[in-house]
């Protein structure tokens, strides 16, 4: 059953976070549904602009529609990840998406508000939820000074004004994470104190954490042992921090890179160990099972595992 992110956040706020996982192909789609049902969790399917052009818009819709038939128990939102204004309108008009993200965070504040307002108006007219972004992800390179790092975090006062003016349903905030495998150096982690300040200005309002892969060391080591060349210092979000972010208003946690690492590890190890094999289905099968296991594990960390019945009841 496809629901809006707003409906999911109503149940989740303050209790647990919902995993938002990016998909690009059939293997990820099957593993995603399987892992969420194995762990009895509601979830969010994220589709990026890149995924829409890689897999073709209609192919992705077909995959998700078929997955609904294969896994009828599943409760999830279909969400456009990092859309520009046109991509948001395309998804709103398609009638398939239940949620869109308008990412105008790179524009000046007033322009970000104006663009988000326009998207909100069109989305809400069709009952679709809107996530917006304020602040800049990233800024975690070693050569960037602490002050500069803080300058990129979401400003709590601005966040309150932004939400009031833009009318979005959730807000992606910059609290120290970045996209990709190389997020943190040394002992740096999430800026939970900043998150707490944002929540104080926006009590009860759903916040979103992008760049939340944990980049497990074991994955990186296995990838490199099988011929990969990742920087061994790659580091992500400590999974123990999710439980601290949830009471501070985080209801959606975006995870993409970690799933790519599972794909890379499975395929590198398979073809290293079976160099004479040419059939892509055996590693594909292993990947789907491993991806399902990975999703179930993440849901346990996010607190969304075991919540499916509660969400179903709340939805009526
Ligand atoms: P990661 O690169 O940490 O997986 O973040 C993904 C993301 O935030 C997608 O919007």
Q: In order along the chain (316 residues), what is the average pLDDT of each group of 10 residues?
A: 98 98 98 98 97 96 97 98 97 97 96 98 98 78 44 91 98 91 73 97 98 96 97 92 97 97 98 97 98 98 98 96
C-alpha torsion sign, points 122, 113, 22, 244? negative
* Strand pairing category for 129-134 and 207-209: unpaired
Nearest atom of ligand 1 to the alpha carbon of 259: 4
Q: What is the four-CA torsion angle of 37, 12, 97, 60, rounded to 10 degrees? A: -30
pLDDT at residue 157, rounded to an integer: 98
pLDDT at residue 187, rounded to an integer: 60
Q: Is 81 a catalytic residue?
A: yes
pLDDT at residue 142, rounded to an integer: 36
> In sequence order, what E strands does 118-203 have?
129-134, 170-173
pLDDT at residue 252, rounded to an integer: 98
The SS3 of residue 155 is: coil
Q: Which of 255, 252, 206 is nearest to 32 (CA)?
A: 255
* Strand pairing category for 250-255 and 18-22: parallel
Nearest atom of ligand 1 to the alpha carbon of 82: 10
Phi, psi (rounded to 5 degrees) for 50 = -60, -40
pTM of the model: 0.95
Q: Which of 166, 148, 175 is nearest to 109 (CA)?
A: 166
CA of 316 to the centre of ligand 1 (A): 32
Nearest atom of ligand 1 to the alpha carbon of 210: 8
The active-site residue out of 81, 103, 169, 258 is 81
DSSP secondary structure letter of residue 154: P
Mutate which of 135, 210, 216, 262 for ligand 1? The one with the most ligand atoms within 8 Å of its CB, which is 210
Ligand 1 binding residues, C-beta < 6 A = 81-82, 179-180, 210-213, 254-258
């Amino acid at each position: 059953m496809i629901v809006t992110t707003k409906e999911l956040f109503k149940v989740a706020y303050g209790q647990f976070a919902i995993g938002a996982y990016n998909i690009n192909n059939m293997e990820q789609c099957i593993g995603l549904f399987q892992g969420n049902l194995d762990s009895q969790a509601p979830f969010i399917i994220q589709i990026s602009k890149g995924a829409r052009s890689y897999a073709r818009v209609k192919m992705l819709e077909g995959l998700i529609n078929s997955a609904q038939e294969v896994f009828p128990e599943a409760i999830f939102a279909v969400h456009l990840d990092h859309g520009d204004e046109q991509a948001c309108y395309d998804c709103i008009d398609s009638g398939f998406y239940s949620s869109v993200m308008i990412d105008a965070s790179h524009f000046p504040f007033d322009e970000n508000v104006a663009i988000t307002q326009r998207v909100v108006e069109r989305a809400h007219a069709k009952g679709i939820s809107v996530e917006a972004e304020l602040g800049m992800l990233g800024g975690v390179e070693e050569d960037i000074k602490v002050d500069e790092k803080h300058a990129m975090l979401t400003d709590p006062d601005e966040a309150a004004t932004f939400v009031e003016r833009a009318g979005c349903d959730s807000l992606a905030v910059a609290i120290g994470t970045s996209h990709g495998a190389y997020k943190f150096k040394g002992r740096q982690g999430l800026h939970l104190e900043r998150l707490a300040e944002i929540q104080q200005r926006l009590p009860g309002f759903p916040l979103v954490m992008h760049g939340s892969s944990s980049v497990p060391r074991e994955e990186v080591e296995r990838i490199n042992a099988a011929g990969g060349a990742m920087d061994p210092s790659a580091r992500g979000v400590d999974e123990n921090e999710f439980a601290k972010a949830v009471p501070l208003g985080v209801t959606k946690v975006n995870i993409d890179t970690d799933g790519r690492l599972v794909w890379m590890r499975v395929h590198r190890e398979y073809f290293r160990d079976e160099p004479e094999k040419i059939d892509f289905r055996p590693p594909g099968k292993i990947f789907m099972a491993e991806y399902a296991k990975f999703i179930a594990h993440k849901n346990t960390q996010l607190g969304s595992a075991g919540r499916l019945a509660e969400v179903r009841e709340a939805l009526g």
